[in-house]
Amino acid sequence: MKHHWQTIPLVIILLSNVTYYPEAGAQLVTSSKTSIQFKSPPPPPDRSAAGERGEAASRGCGNNKQSLMALVPDYKQTIKLDGGETIPITKVWGLTTAEYPTFWFFVPYDKSSITKMEFVIKDESQKPSKTIYRAFLNKPERPGIIGIPIDKTAKPLQVSQTKHQKMYRWFFKVRVKCNPEQSAELRTVEGWIERVKLNPTLADSLKQVKPLQQAALYAENGIWHNALTTLAKLRLANPKDASLLANWTSLLKSEELDSLANHSLINCCQPTN
């Protein structure tokens, strides 16, 4: 496994008081490797980033029975309760530097099976949480990997500060009707994203290299969403490039998602509302 199970005390910490990764690239990591490797930063130390990037059991439509999956990092840990009992949790969390990041998902369903798709982002640094973006989306023409950008009419993600952490929770919901004689079922994946500021050294390095090297720099400095989106855009523009596929596979393998690497990337899905 990429992330070992750890036992951590059951301590609830207010998000506004937690700071663990305030600036991306604080120690610049560069690479001359031909394959892109993601080096995951430490996850949030409390329970706030619990989520689910994919269904444990295959519940897809058709012969493959594949499941809806978010292309994001996850961290498996255990929480120790006061009585000594431990419970497993999965944290689904990644970093971005973008005001309006793109989120990537594997949608295994035929267009005819999908009745509705919805994407939601909430600001969890406020109590109660506040929805900052909600969109119903058009359906992909076929099963594959899709990118969902935040529309720029929405409020941009704010950068986490040393004394005020901004955590955003996202949900991707798909209603699927596999059997015409039954009602549609809701499939959901969810997780967390945090926007961080690049340090000047990494920012300068990114300006001096081509997009493929930019993806590698983002990955080695723990900025998952930038790395994935940069590489996905290259693949969409050059779908038959074998070297891009190799790097794409390498990046996904870093988070045990390489089983999805050969699925097509599909240009979709725009808001319908």
pLDDT band at 133 (very low <50, low <70, confident <90, very high): very high
Phi, psi at residue 109, to the nearest 5°? -100, 150
Determine the pLDDT at residue 66.
Answer: 85
Return the pLDDT at 60. Answer: 61
- Is the model's pLDDT at 28 over the cut of 60? no
In the structure, what pLDDT confidence band is assigned to residue 48 with cuts at 50, 70 and 90? Answer: low
- Contact predicate 49/89, CB 8 Å: no
* pLDDT score for 1: 44
Q: What per-residue confidence (pLDDT) applies to 142?
A: 93
Reply yes or no on whether the pLDDT at 271 is more than 70.
yes
pTM of this structure: 0.86
Q: Regarding predicted confidence, which is higher, 256 or 13?
A: 256
Count the residues in the chain: 273
Q: How many CB atoms lie within 10 A of CB 175?
A: 17
Q: Are 23 and 199 in contact (CB under 8 A)?
A: yes
Taking 90 as the threshold, does the pLDDT of residue 22 lie above it? Answer: no
Q: How many CA atoms lie within 13 A of 261 on its CB side?
A: 19
**In whole angstroms, what is the distance from residue 252 CA to residue 262 CA?**
11
Reported as type and span, the H/E element at residue 195 is strand 185-195
pLDDT, one tens digit per residue, over 227-266 is 999 999 999 999 999 999 999 999 999 999 999 999 999 9
Please report the pLDDT score of residue 18 as a whole number: 31
Average pLDDT of every residue of the chain? 84
- Cis peptide bond prior to 88, omega within 30° of 0: no
Return all residues near 84 (Cβ < 8 A) that are at least 6 apart: none
| Spatial CA neighbour of 226 closest among 195, 255, 199, 201 | 195
What per-residue confidence (pLDDT) applies to 62? 55
The percent of residues above 90 in pLDDT, for the chain, comes to 63
What number is the average pLDDT over the span 80-93? 85
The mean pLDDT value for 12-30 works out to 39
Ordered structural domains, the chain, with CATH: 7-266 (2.60.40.1930)
- Cα–Cα dist 25/252, whole Å: 21
Stretch 165-184: mean pLDDT = 90
What pLDDT was estimated at residue 57?
A: 55
CB 194, CB 166: distance < 8 Å? yes
Contact 139, 105 (CB under 8 A): no
Residue type, 6: Q
Confidence of residue 81 (pLDDT cuts 50, 70, 90): confident
For residue 120, the cross-strand partners are 134, 171
Q: Which of 36-40, 47-51, 108-112, 243-247 has the lowest mean pLDDT?
A: 47-51
Identify which of 253, 251, 265, 260 has the alpha carbon closest to the alpha carbon of residue 217: 251
According to DSSP, the residues that pair with 170 across neighbouring strands are 121, 191
Q: What is the pLDDT of residue 172?
A: 97
Please provide the distance, in angstroms rounded to a whole number, between the alpha carbons at the two ends of the chain.
Answer: 41
